[in-house]
Amino acid sequence: MTKTTDTPVLETLAAMTADSIERCGLDDSTLILTRLAALAAMDAPAISYVAHVDPAMKANLTAEQLQDVLVAIAPVVGTARVMSAATHITEALGVAIAVAESDAEAMAEAGAHDRSKS
């Protein structure tokens, strides 16, 4: 019998991603850029890009590199998908920033709460 979790879909996706990374010989930057190109090609929703924000930052990818990928794939996937991808990437970055701000606020509140107990 399998163990039931609160987030089985997210855990499955994380396991698939980890397995893919282990089996892939690409460097981190190339791997993330390739995945972003694939997401753009399939017109993935913004939430699909969110999982790639942190790895892209850790791989030191620049906005110019992300734009270069979109420019490179435009003749193959088309203008509509590239513009959609650009919008979704921007939305994903907004979600990541909002989450980071929320985490920072929660940490600040926890710190203030701990200090008030002292």
Task: Check residue 113 and give its pLDDT.
Answer: 65
Measured distance CA(62)–CA(5) in Å, rounded: 36
Task: Say what the pTM is.
Answer: 0.73
Q: Could you state, in chain order, the average pLDDT of each consecutive group of 10 residues for the chain (118 residues)?
A: 74 84 90 94 91 86 91 95 92 78 73 69
Task: Check residue 74 and give its pLDDT.
Answer: 96
**Cβ burial, residue 31 (10 Å; 0-12/13-18/19+):** middle
- Looking at this protein, which amino acid is placed at residue 59? A
Task: Check residue 58 and give its pLDDT.
Answer: 87
Task: Check residue 55 and give its pLDDT.
Answer: 85
Task: Check residue 37 and give its pLDDT.
Answer: 96
Q: How far is CA 118 from CA 8, 94, 113, 114, 115, in A?
A: 40, 36, 9, 7, 5
Task: Check residue 78 and give its pLDDT.
Answer: 96
Residues 40 and 85 sit within 8 Å (Cβ to Cβ): yes
